[in-house]
């Protein structure tokens, strides 16, 4: 991957120099490359091994007041004239009143983040297979009620990004990770349950397939014998993973572009109380071990820790260069695009609700009687990202006198996300991130409507 960065760097310098000679007033080069290796096992044998590489660059340049674009997967220096000619043609065709921004990087200070570990690069295909086989074997060995392992997968990912422009910006970053995922099925007394678990690792010596498999088995077998509960309003603990998934649905309300377009209920509410004083929500791109940890965004803007909600009060929105200019504010380092082919939007990095001081067991004791929701389903269809309303299938556990009594399924929880944030009774201390990089501790709410039997 370092060889690719070196090649991209050489191409970048020649491209930007040629752009200046062509008469571009300003120009930007964005390069992104990634490699993913994945091993799937089934029945004690390797089912599939994948090794994929994708990457390329995008160019954009300002010419006679219009921005021209071009992207390609090839870093062939012989194609530089073609790149610039195509961008010139696009600039002549594009008619837009939207102001375009290329970050000058002057006086920018970048935080050095630890996103790359050489030991992960050295993992062989044989080692990946051994990890995956351990996932499957441990799942079967942990509990006799496990009858099938639908997926046992271990993968590694590595990526690099390089950004440069004609104003002197020149930055790059490498990152990598490993992931273990297992999905198992358990059966007892004619009832079948399925569940899974994943873990992300930033260092090879931390990879622990056995613990992932055991956690998956525990989550799956715990739901055997589950039944519904009667329709009513309940005190509810939404467990960390489920709460993170719920928060994930409503992140867009904190994006400056959505606020400006009227796609957020939080418009004009900056400085107002929108949640319980127990809620503080942070977007931290410098979080050690975070899935989206980075020192800069796709526009080259330095990333920074942003506090969106502090003790219940809405403090700010996330911005890219364009939305920040429209708001008359500084960019927050949240201008990201999904690939070199895409356009810049706004995205959170490692966004999470901060921990409280209460353990999960103590949350149950405080609640005394109610439900623990461990999983929410139908989030895409059952959650309105703008209004905040949700009606979601859920499962979890019934709690009586502070103790977990039995597993619960076939229930629907309904409410409004923004109203829910004002019904917080206690915040747990078990912060956990979902696969999308959104995190939350378990949270006890006073009352949520539950439809059951």
Where along the chain do its domains lie?
2-216, 225-247+355-451
Separation of alpha carbons 263 and 265, rounded Å: 7
Separation of alpha carbons 322 and 83, rounded Å: 25
Average pLDDT, the chain: 95
Report yes or no: 204 and 402 within 8 Å, Cβ to Cβ.
no
Between CA 358 and CA 366, with CA 362 as vertex, the angle to 5 degrees is 105
Q: What is the pTM of this model?
A: 0.94
The answer, yes or no, to whether residue 107 has pLDDT greater than 90, is: no
Report yes or no: 162 and 236 within 8 Å, Cβ to Cβ.
no
Mean pLDDT across the stretch 390-395?
97
pLDDT more than 70, % of the chain:
99
Instruction: Walk across the sheet containing 281-283 and list its strands.
Output: 313-314, 306-310, 281-283, 351-353, 438-440, 432-433
Mean pLDDT across the stretch 287-315?
97
Separation of alpha carbons 55 and 75, rounded Å: 10
Kindly list the distances between the CA atom of residue 353 and the CA atoms of 37, 386, 401, in Å, as whole numbers in the listed order: 32, 20, 28
Q: Please state which of the ranges 1-10, 19-28, 70-79, 276-285 shows the lowest mean pLDDT.
A: 1-10
Tracing tokens 């009060």 back to the chain, one arrives at 313
CA atoms within 13 A on the CB side of 246: 31
The residue count of the chain comes to: 453
Mean pLDDT across the stretch 268-280?
97
The answer, yes or no, to whether residue 64 has pLDDT greater than 90, is: no
344, 340, 312, 342: which is closest to 331 by C-alpha?
344
Q: What is the DSSP letter of 159?
A: E
**Coil, strand, or helix at residue 439?**
strand
Q: What is the DSSP letter of 230?
A: -
Kindly list the distances between the CA atom of residue 447 and the CA atoms of 20, 177, 215, 234, 444, in Å, as whole numbers in the listed order: 62, 39, 29, 5, 9
Report yes or no: 311 and 277 within 8 Å, Cβ to Cβ.
yes
Domain 2-216 coded CATH 3.40.50.10190: no
Q: What is the DSSP letter of 254?
A: G
The answer, yes or no, to whether residue 280 has pLDDT greater than 70, is: yes
Mean pLDDT across the stretch 306-319?
98
Separation of alpha carbons 210 and 168, rounded Å: 48
pLDDT at 434: 95
Instruction: List pLDDT tens digits, range 330-361.
Output: 999 999 999 999 999 999 999 999 999 999 99
pLDDT more than 90, % of the chain:
94
Helices 2-22 & 80-93 angle (0-180, nearest 10): 60
- How sure is the predictor about 5, in pLDDT bands with cuts at 50, 70 and 90? confident
């Amino acid at each position: 991957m370092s060889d690719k960065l070196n090649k991209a760097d050489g191409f970048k310098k020649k491209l930007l120099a040629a752009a200046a000679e062509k008469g571009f007033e300003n120009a930007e080069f964005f390069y992104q490359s990634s490699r993913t290796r994945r091993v799937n096992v089934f029945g004690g044998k390797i089912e599939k091994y994948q090794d994929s590489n994708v990457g390329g660059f995008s160019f954009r340049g300002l010419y006679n007041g219009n921005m021209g674009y071009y992207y390609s997967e090839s870093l062939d220096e012989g194609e530089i004239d073609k790149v610039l000619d195509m961008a010139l043609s696009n600039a002549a065709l594009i008619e837009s009143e939207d102001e375009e921004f290329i970050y000058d990087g002057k006086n920018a200070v970048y935080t050095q983040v630890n996103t790359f570990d050489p030991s992960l690069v050295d993992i062989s295909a044989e080692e990946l297979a051994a990890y995956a086989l351990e996932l499957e074997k441990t799942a079967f060995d942990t509990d006799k009620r496990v009858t099938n392992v639908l997926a046992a997968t271990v993968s590694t990912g590595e990526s690099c990004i390089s950004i440069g422009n004609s104003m002197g910006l020149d930055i790059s970053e490498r990152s990598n990770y490993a992931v273990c995922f297992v999905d198992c099925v358990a059966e007892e007394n004619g009832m079948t349950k399925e569940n899974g678990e994943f873990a992300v690792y930033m260092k090879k010596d931390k990879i622990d397939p056995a613990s992932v498999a055991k956690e998956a088995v525990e989550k799956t077998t715990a739901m055997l014998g589950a039944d519904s509960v009667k329709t009513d309003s309940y005190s509810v603990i939404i467990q960390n993973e489920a709460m993170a998934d719920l928060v994930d649905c409503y992140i867009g309300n904190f994006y400056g572009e959505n606020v400006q377009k009227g796609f957020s209920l939080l418009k004009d509410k900056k400085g107002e109380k929108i949640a319980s004083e127990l809620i503080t929500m942070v977007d931290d791109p410098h979080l050690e071990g975070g899935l989206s940890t980075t020192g800069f965004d796709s526009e080259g803007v330095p990333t920074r820790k942003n506090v969106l909600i502090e003790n219940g009060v809405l403090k700010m929105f996330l911005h890219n260069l364009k939305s920040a200019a429209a708001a008359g504010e500084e960019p927050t380092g949240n201008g990201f695009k999904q690939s070199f082919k895409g356009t810049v939007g706004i995205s959170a990095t490692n966004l999470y609700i901060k921990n409280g001081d209460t353990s999960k067991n103590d949350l149950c004791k405080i609640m005394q009687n109610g439900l623990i929701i461990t999983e929410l389903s139908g989030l895409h269809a059952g959650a309105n990202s703008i209004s905040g309303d949700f009606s979601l299938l859920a499962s979890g556990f019934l709690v009586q006198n502070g103790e977990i009594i039995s597993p619960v399924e076939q229930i629907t929880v309904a409410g409004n996300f923004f109203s829910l944030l004002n019904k917080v009774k206690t915040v747990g201390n078990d912060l956990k991130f979902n696969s999308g990089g959104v995190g939350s501790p378990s949270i006890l709410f006073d009352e949520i409507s539950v439809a059951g039997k």
